Amino acid sequence: MEVKLRVVLLDVSDNPLALLWRSYRQCYSSSFAPELPEPPDEQKEDFIAAMISRGHLSPLEHVKFTFAIEGISRVCSHQLVRHRIASYSQQSQRYVDMSNFRYIIPPSIAQDPQAKEEFERIMGEIRKAYRRLMTLLSQRGVEGERAMEDVRFLLPQAVETKIVVTMNCRELLHFFGQRCCSRAQWEIRALAWKMLEICRRVLPCVFRKAGPKCEALGYCPEGEKGCGRYPRREEVGL
């Protein structure tokens, strides 16, 4: 069964705007952070945005976002977990029966009826093989997680996974800079843009200008492999 990407915000730090403002202000104030008188939200937003524009990013680590994600492949999750300043809780193929696994079809295959038919046929064969192996092992008394931990070796990377991800704002800015880029693989790029949409709604002063790193730099760091939206680094004299 084909499945679609879904991203849900599970949690965000309490009162993230105030938390960021107090964290930033503590760097420049002799007063104790909890005792600082708070200005209106608009002034907080302007101050935080100004700090980010100056490259002062460490206070952003105090605010975190937690997302629940489904409808991504193991290919995508393997890329996602390479971002190490984060916490992950991923669906286990050892404890979850995958005999009816769902899967992701790459667009280049989905747009070609013949290729899609072949892809789906193979997925169906793998499902059948998974069930046959589970039955064979059961006949020998190997059941439950003992069977699933070995039969999972048969599963393809297209298999859908579910994962809970927590990142702080600073890591999210880095993640969006890397993964919203047109050079990023299509699946994790789609995930990054959905996460960014949520972050912009919650904390626009932090994420309004987030996105591909070229937008922050004013040039493309990818050289000849860039998409052409921005001039290359050497073209702007850097």
Residuewise pLDDT in 10s, the chain (238 residues): 668 999 999 999 999 999 999 999 999 999 999 999 999 999 999 999 999 999 999 999 999 999 999 999 999 999 999 999 999 999 999 999 999 999 999 999 999 999 999 999 999 999 999 999 999 999 999 999 999 999 999 999 999 999 999 999 999 999 999 999 999 999 999 999 999 999 999 999 999 999 998 887 888 888 777 787 888 877 776 6
Given this model, what pLDDT does residue 42 score? 96
Which two three-digit tokens encode residue 103? 């899967």
Please provide the size of the chain in residues. Answer: 238
Which two three-digit tokens encode residue 207? 């994420």
Q: What is the pTM of this model?
A: 0.93
Which two three-digit tokens encode residue 192? 């990054």
Distances 77 to 44, 87, 88, 211, 227 between C-alpha atoms, Å: 35, 13, 10, 20, 25
* Burial class for 160, CB neighbours closer than 10 Å (0-12, 13-18, 19+): buried
Closest-CA residue to 104 (of 75, 130, 133, 79): 75
Count other Cβ atoms within 10 Å, centred on residue 17: 19
Given this model, what pLDDT does residue 223 score? 76
Count other Cβ atoms within 10 Å, centred on residue 199: 23
d(CA 47, CA 52): 9
Q: Could you identify the residue written with the tokens 């050289």?
A: 223
99: DSSP letter: T
Given this model, what pLDDT does residue 2 score? 64
d(CA 138, CA 151): 12
Q: Are 218 and 236 in contact (CB under 8 A)?
A: yes
**Among the options 22, 25, 102, 179, which is catalytic?**
179
* Burial class for 225, CB neighbours closer than 10 Å (0-12, 13-18, 19+): exposed
Distances 113 to 3, 109, 204 between C-alpha atoms, Å: 17, 8, 42
**Does the annotation mark 179 as catalytic?**
yes
Which two three-digit tokens encode residue 143? 């059941």
> Which contiguous run of DSSP H or E holds residue 168?
strand 160-168
